[in-house]
Amino acid sequence: MLVPAVWAAAVLLAIRWGAGNPWTWVPVLLLAGGGALGLSRPVCRMFRHLVARWTGTKVPAGYRQAAPVVRLSTGHWWNGFSYERTRRDALLDQRWRLRLRDPANWRDLRFTAIAPVTAGPVAAVPPAGLAVAVLGFGLGFARPSPALLAIGALGLVVAVAGAPYAWRVAEPVAVRFLRPSPAMALADRVDELTAQRADTTVAQAAEIRRIERDLHDGAQARLVGLGLSLATAEKLMETDPERARALMREARAAAAGSLSELRELVQGINPPVLNDRGLVDAVRALALDSALEAEVSAAGVPPHLDPPIESALYFSIAELVTNAVKHARATRARIFIGRAIEGSDLVVDVEDDGRGGAGVRPGGGLDGLRRRLAVFDGTLEITSPAGGPTRVRMVVPCELS
């Protein structure tokens, strides 16, 4: 209703200025075009929200996400399109380029022109019936007229009877004209998979470096010392048996220490309890070791899931608990693992009593969690008002038996 109002204001302005004014068309076009372009995104966001709330159908927006603005060694800022001297100029240039080049914006603009002549007339039936009822009853009682009263009653019936059905046309219109095209969805999926591949490569390289560093600094030094002790004990076996036995005892203790260190080393890859007892027990063990007072509950989760899904969810929960302690200053947390009400999706809810204000920022930790779950077509939803509490819901498609 906002966009037609802008168009009507432009027409009224043209009528007021008169057709004889040669410059009438300039402000008219600026008002009609600029107003429609500026209102297209908020109007379409509101429309998607209403359709999802009333019908349960979620229409993906498909907007292109802004890349992080990075400062280079030369002092210039790179925004994904061009180099700028200041961060402010880089953000401004990036915003306008996305605004003009994103096909989703032009799709929204097209929708603002289509919706008033498709969903608009049907949605206007109840308000129109109510207006007729008010006028009919008002005039019918002011000067008694059975015809006006009948018109008012008819308008009221139309308003009440049509209200439950007036917005049903919104769903097919939104699905048809607001969702991304198959080509755009495929391009977004390719970009997402490319980013996931890059993240996986970086994570694998970092994990390999961590293992190499820990082996070199810890386990390798212990094993070298163990070898020297055994060589010394072998030489002392005949001349000083007591000293040789003491060295053997030290070597045995060093071997036990090396084994324990190797076990701790591979915990960053997968905790033993996760491999042995599954996701729920691993999360309970994590809660016991956490600084938070954490409560873990589960319903309908089998002992073992697919190992990649178990690993991704476990480390996602571990990062959320760490963030709650480190950033949100929380003291309590509640973790629930179970099945979705409808379907076979696996749902994980993590809620803490921290100060809130958490959000997904490009390149941040929560953005990394979102990308980690996206590998399995999972989703991440965050509700974190200022002052808390923070609730994070992770949903992963998973066949549970």
Q: Give the pLDDT confidence of 307-364 residue by residue, as tens digits.
A: 778 888 888 888 888 888 878 788 888 999 888 766 678 888 998 888 888 877 776 7
Averaged pLDDT for residues 237-251: 81
Contacts of 353 (CB under 8 A, 6+ apart): 330, 331, 332, 333, 388, 389
Single-letter code of the amino acid located at 333: A
Q: Same domain for 252 and 336?
A: no
Q: Same domain for 281 and 264?
A: no
**Single residue among 237, 268, 299 that ends a domain in this structure:** 268
Q: Does 65 reside within a domain?
A: no
CA 215 to chain CA mean position, Å: 37
Q: Same domain for 277 and 228?
A: no
- Total domains present in the chain: 3
Q: Same domain for 334 and 386?
A: yes
Q: What pLDDT score was predicted for residue 381?
A: 87
Averaged pLDDT for residues 87-110: 82
Q: What pLDDT score was predicted for residue 19?
A: 57
Q: Does 288 reside within a domain?
A: yes
Q: Same domain for 193 and 233?
A: yes
Q: Same domain for 301 and 347?
A: yes
Q: Same domain for 233 and 130?
A: no
State yes or no: pLDDT of 87 exceeds 70: yes
Q: Does 148 reside within a domain?
A: yes
> Contact 357/386 with Cβ under 8 angstroms?
yes
Q: What pLDDT score was predicted for residue 78?
A: 85
State yes or no: pLDDT of 268 exceeds 60: no
Among 14-28, 112-126, 346-360, the range with the most confident prediction by mean pLDDT is 346-360
Q: Does 178 reside within a domain?
A: no
Q: Does 16 reside within a domain?
A: no
Q: Same domain for 225 and 279?
A: no
Q: Same domain for 224 and 336?
A: no
Residue in the structure block whose two tokens are 């004014």:
21
- In percent, the amount of the chain with pLDDT more than 70 equals 77
**Single residue among 268, 295, 310 that ends a domain in this structure:** 268
Q: Same domain for 281 and 299?
A: yes
Residue 294: CATH number of its domain? 3.30.565.10
Predicted confidence band at 8 (pLDDT cuts at 50, 70, 90)?
Answer: low
**Tokens representing residue 28 in the block:** 């008219």
Q: Domain of residue 201: give its range.
A: 183-268
**Single residue among 131, 166, 201 that ends a domain in this structure:** 166
Q: Does 102 reside within a domain?
A: no
Q: Same domain for 307 and 324?
A: yes
Name the burial class of residue 382, with classes exposed (0-12), middle (13-18) and buried (19+) by CB atoms within 10 angstroms of its CB.
Answer: middle
Predicted confidence band at 213 (pLDDT cuts at 50, 70, 90)?
Answer: low
User: Per-residue pLDDT tens for 154-190?
Assistant: 888 888 888 888 877 878 888 888 777 677 677 767 7
Q: What pLDDT score was predicted for residue 219?
A: 64
Q: Same domain for 318 and 239?
A: no
CA distance 125 to 133: 12
Q: Does 145 reside within a domain?
A: yes
Predicted confidence band at 14 (pLDDT cuts at 50, 70, 90)?
Answer: low
Contacts of 307 (CB under 8 A, 6+ apart): 270, 275
Averaged pLDDT for residues 105-110: 81
What does pLDDT average to over the chain?
77
Q: Does 128 reside within a domain?
A: yes
Residue 212: CATH number of its domain? 1.20.5
